[in-house]
């Protein structure tokens, strides 16, 4: 039976990076993955260009950009392996990249540049890769070593690293395997749900907006009560089934079922003032004046909802204008659900961080480590989840 210092299950961002770093530190490492292709999540992320980190991450207060039942847990790994560290690695491999906005870094050419970099790092560390190679069973032998029954035969390792990701995007091979291993060894889990996911609406309440699919605009979006309010300034996208775009993906991680979201559809405009000015100077229909402040399709859909808004702006009462301004700047609507894991970019929840060392990512089960998305640490949209993958993998590899 082949024996390794460390066996990593999962050849995604966290698994490959951890294996490469550990291999280059002299460990004999095996990486296993049940999928034929490595790192599919990197390949499809950022429109195929991989938003691989974010310069705005604050390692002194990382919980600002991350959700977890224990928000301070991620601070140790994130402050020891920063975006600047990963950027230096990307530069060393000569991969050209650019910043889009809000600190988000993307590959110039293709996400494949990043995948090839991780594979070269693994090669440099003499890492063995088996794939496709499913794992049928995991157990700990009497000597403390981990024994795995795989589709290519049994293997043993002193350390076992679980880097199997979450439940999001099952069509690229996502599964609950990592959570099953955690449960098998008696580790607690935090309830999982889709994160960074489009929101859906149905029924009569959504009917006026169903025709807006494809429309995008910048908004301010918020959810939660006074004590737990969360807000973002981002772009919104209307879809056939509801709302998406960066604004909605961000807020979805904080939204709770049965509660509303609130939207300001003209965040850069003082609507009451603009409408009052139009009333004093224009003979146009209110819809036409409104179309100068928000996209015309949105203006049309809005004025259809109230007979008082379907007349020239000069003939519209102050009360009706105030009502329109209020509705557009504080549109409150309750989603009926989300598009689920098939469209979610990440999984909220996962292996409970109270079961793990924040320094090493080793669990209370000696020699068993969990890194990346399988852990209950979820970043904002914009490269934060990849940075958690790199940082948690690096902390783990140092400890191996």
Same domain, 249 and 164: no
Q: The tokens of 280 are what?
A: 């004093």
Domain boundary among 338, 360, 388: 338
Report how far residue 304's alpha carbon sits from residue 72's, in angstroms, rounded to the nearest whole number: 48
Split at pLDDT 50, 70, 90, the class of 226 is confident
Give the residue from 253, 244, 246, 251 showing the smallest Cα distance to 195: 253
Same domain, 70 and 213: no
In CATH, what number is assigned to the domain containing residue 187? 3.50.50.60
pLDDT above 90 coverage of the chain, percent: 95
Same domain, 117 and 64: yes
In CATH, what number is assigned to the domain containing residue 284? 1.10.8.260
In CATH, what number is assigned to the domain containing residue 245? 2.40.30.10
Same domain, 65 and 185: yes
> Higher model confidence: residue 228 or residue 86?
86
Same domain, 298 and 209: no
For 215-245, b/e burial (b = at least 16 CB within 10 A) is bebbbbbbbbeeeeeebbebebbbbebbbbb
Domain range for 153? 2-193+346-399
The pLDDT of residue 178: 98
Which residues are CB-neighbours of 383 under 8 A, at least 6 positions away?
A: 51, 52, 53, 54, 83, 103, 104, 105
Same domain, 305 and 351: no
> Contact 243/237 with Cβ under 8 angstroms?
yes
The pLDDT of residue 159: 98
Report how far residue 140's alpha carbon sits from residue 159's, in angstroms, rounded to the nearest whole number: 10
The pLDDT of residue 62: 79
Split at pLDDT 50, 70, 90, the class of 95 is very high
Split at pLDDT 50, 70, 90, the class of 203 is confident
Same domain, 312 and 252: no
Same domain, 146 and 27: yes
- pLDDT tens digit sequence for 290-318: 999 999 999 999 999 999 999 999 999 99
- Lowest-pLDDT range of 12-26, 73-87, 199-213, 355-369: 199-213
Same domain, 183 and 226: no
**Torsional class of 349: left (φ above 0), alpha (ψ -120 to 50), beta (otherwise):** left
Split at pLDDT 50, 70, 90, the class of 59 is confident
Domain boundary among 302, 318, 338: 338
Same domain, 96 and 187: yes
**Model's pTM, two decimal places?**
0.96
Domain total in the chain: 3
- pLDDT tens digit sequence for 170-193: 999 999 999 999 999 999 999 999
Same domain, 311 and 359: no
Give the residue from 32, 21, 29 showing the smallest Cα distance to 3: 29
Beta-bridge partners for 218:
235
Same domain, 176 and 67: yes
On the 0-12 / 13-18 / 19+ scale of CB atoms within 10 A, 368 is: buried
């Amino acid at each position: 039976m082949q024996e390794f210092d460390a066996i990593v299950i999962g050849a995604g961002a966290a698994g490959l990076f951890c294996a490469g770093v550990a291999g280059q530190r002299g460990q004999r490492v095996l990486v296993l993955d049940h999928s034929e292709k490595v790192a599919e999540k990197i390949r499809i992320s950022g429109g195929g260009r991989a938003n691989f980190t974010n310069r705005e991450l604050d390692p002194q207060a990382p919980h600002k950009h991350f959700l977890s039942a224990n928000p301070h847990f991620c601070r140790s790994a994130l402050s020891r392996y920063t975006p600047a560290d990963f950027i230096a690695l990307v530069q060393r491999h000569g991969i050209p990249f650019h910043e889009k906005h809000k600190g988000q870094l993307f590959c110039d050419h293709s996400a494949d540049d990043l995948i090839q970099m991780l594979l070269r790092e693994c090669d440099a560390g003499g890492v063995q890769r088996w794939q496709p190679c499913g794992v049928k069973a995991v157990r700990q032998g009497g000597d403390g070593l981990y024994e795995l029954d795989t589709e290519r035969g049994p293997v043993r390792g002193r350390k076992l690293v679980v880097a199997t990701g979450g439940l999001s995007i099952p069509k690229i091979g996502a599964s609950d395997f990592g959570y099953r291993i955690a449960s098998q060894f008696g580790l607690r889990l935090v309830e999982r749900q889709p994160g960074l996911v489009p929101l859906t609406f149905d029924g009569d309440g959504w009917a006026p907006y169903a025709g807006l699919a494809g429309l995008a605009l910048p908004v301010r979006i918020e959810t939660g009560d006074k004590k737990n309010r969360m807000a973002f300034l981002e772009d919104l996208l209307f879809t056939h089934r509801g709302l998406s775009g960066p604004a909605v993906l961000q807020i979805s991680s904080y939204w709770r079922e049965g509660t509303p979201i609130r939207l300001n559809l003209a965040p850069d405009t003082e609507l009451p003032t603009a409408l009052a000015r139009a009333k004093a100077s224009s003979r146009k229909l209110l819809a036409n004046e409104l179309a100068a402040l928000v996209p015309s399709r949105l203006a049309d859909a809005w004025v259809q909802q109230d007979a008082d808004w379907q007349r020239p702006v000069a003939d519209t009462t102050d009360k009706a204008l105030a009502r329109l301004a209020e509705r557009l700047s504080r549109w409150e609507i309750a989603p009926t659900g989300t598009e689920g894991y098939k469209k979610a970019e990440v999984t909220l929840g996962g292996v409970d961080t109270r079961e793990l060392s924040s320094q090493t990512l080793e669990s209370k089960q000696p020699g068993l480590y969990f890194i990346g998305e399988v852990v209950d640490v979820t970043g904002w949209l914009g490269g934060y989840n990849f940075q958690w993958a790199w940082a948690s993998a690096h902390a783990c590899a140092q400890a191996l």
